[in-house]
Amino acid sequence: IGALAAELAASPLGLTPILAPAELGRLSADFHDYSPVLEPLLKGRRAQLAVKVERVEQVMAVAGACARHRVPLTLRGAGTGNYGQCVPLAGGLVLDMGGLNRLRSLDPDSGVIEAESGCILAQLDGQLVAHGRALRLAPSTYRSATLGGFIAGGSGGLGSLRWGFLRDPGHLLGLEAVTLEAEPRLLRLDAAASAPLNHAYGTNGIITALRMATTEAVAWEPLVVGFARWEEALETARELPTTALLLNALCLLEAPVAAAMPWPAGCPAAASGEHRLLLHAAPDSLEPLPGWLAARGGRILWQGRRPEPGRGRGLPLAELTWNHTTLHWRAQAPEWTYLQLLLPRPEAPLLEAVRGRWGTDVLWHLEGVRHLGAPRLTALPLVRWQGPEALADLVAQCRALGAVPFDPHVITVEDGGLGVVDADQVAAKAAFDPAGLMNPGKLRGWRG
């Protein structure tokens, strides 16, 4: 490590090795503490050295030096992942990509962008809106997360109701990536060749820029809808995405969860027993929505100002959805954790069976998504932590009732997905990281 730090410090490219323990601790951490399984597993794992980069040639210099010195390299965007994706298991160097943050181009005809991996999503979206375009998908952490970290470590979020998930073909059109070799290569990969690096936790190539499809910018109106009856709220959440009312986000919170949320300024706190549906609706949906909702037992309680990507003040409604729901819940109940499930259709039998067995130890938070082209509901239930066996029992029950669990309590790419090794991801690692130095321990299929 000492020799690597000295080599980097001597580089004419202006690299500054970071060795201060407090800074190394910060740059080695993410948000895996939502999982009581991961927390003890990752405790104390930290880099021995960190470097921040702003230019591709700096990335290449660090990659080459790590390969020659045989030092593990872990990439970091903003460090907002939930599964310890950017926590270095084997020490080594953390490469902070946040300074590589230029929007390189926006094609006015197709809307296709090429942007560097460290672009903060909200800031990037702000740049696109000026041209009438917007990102299709963003995590609820869009105000801090990077584009490269979202592709390498995320899956979907805001926009998933219309656009599905990041690994669906058509979102990622190409990558610029650097290999981890003594003489690093700067690759330009097309959509097909980029796919194995998509959601690979930075184990098989350093993404320096991404070509992405965008969508037309819509000034989504944030709405909060109240329901006295859970059955009506659930039915509304199922039915809304099948109408021609244009929505970008749909989040349903069971009453106890709604009661614990910090609502945006001007939005009333949830009354006892009130279930809440959170929507991002297109302006032309605002006219028919109140009547349509009222016929189903729902009442619009609050309509916010249009969110201004990257420029909003205060708490946006988006930051009550996806894993921000978990964040706010855990702020007052840190002993709770969560799960991620794609729910079967119809959803009610599973929700009721779980409620029957676990009572108020499992609380429902649902998100509307598009899965394989069809509207579906996913769940990020809040779960009172009662130990690993109880969690495994709950997952087994949900699986038996037809849900597809995506386990947030594991550290490998495969275990967080469907549990299956992706041969293309492993082949990309063999080609671009032949010594197996990138984020070691996170790709189960790699036996290097």
Binding-site ranges for ligand FAD (CB under 6 A): 30-31, 74-82, 85-86, 97, 117, 139-141, 145-146, 148-150, 152-157, 201-202, 206-207, 322-324, 327, 439
Give the HSE-up count for residue 260: Cα atoms under 13 Å, Cβ half-sphere.
19
Nearer to ligand FAD, 96 or 274 (CB): 96
Shortest CB 210 distance to ligand FAD, Å = 9
Shortest CB 19 distance to ligand FAD, Å = 20
Nearer to ligand FAD, 140 or 179 (CB): 140
List all residues 6 or more positions away from 230 whose beta carbon is below 8 Å from its beta carbon: 254, 255, 275
Shortest CB 384 distance to ligand FAD, Å = 19
CA-CA distance, 212 to 170, in Å (whole number)? 8
Long-range contacts formed by 361-364: CB under 8 A, 24+ apart: 361/386, 362/394, 363/254, 363/256, 363/257, 363/329, 364/252, 364/253, 364/254, 364/257
Beta carbons of 162 and 248 less than 8 angstroms apart: yes
Shortest CB 364 distance to ligand FAD, Å = 17
Torsion, CA 351, CA 352, CA 353, CA 357, rounded to 10: 100
Shortest CB 149 distance to ligand FAD, Å = 2
Nearer to ligand FAD, 117 or 123 (CB): 117
Which class for 417: exposed (0-12), middle (13-18), buried (19 or more C-beta within 10 A)?
middle
Q: Which residue is nearest to ligand FAD (CB)?
A: 149
Nearer to ligand FAD, 179 or 439 (CB): 439
Shortest CB 30 distance to ligand FAD, Å = 5
DSSP 8-state symbol, 438:
B
Nearer to ligand FAD, 272 or 332 (CB): 332
Nearer to ligand FAD, 149 or 309 (CB): 149
Cβ–Cβ contacts within 10 Å for residue 448, how many? 12
Helix (H/G/I), strand (E/B), else coil: 325: helix
- End-to-end CA, the chain: 22
Nearer to ligand FAD, 202 or 375 (CB): 202
Which class for 227: exposed (0-12), middle (13-18), buried (19 or more C-beta within 10 A)?
buried
Shortest CB 244 distance to ligand FAD, Å = 26
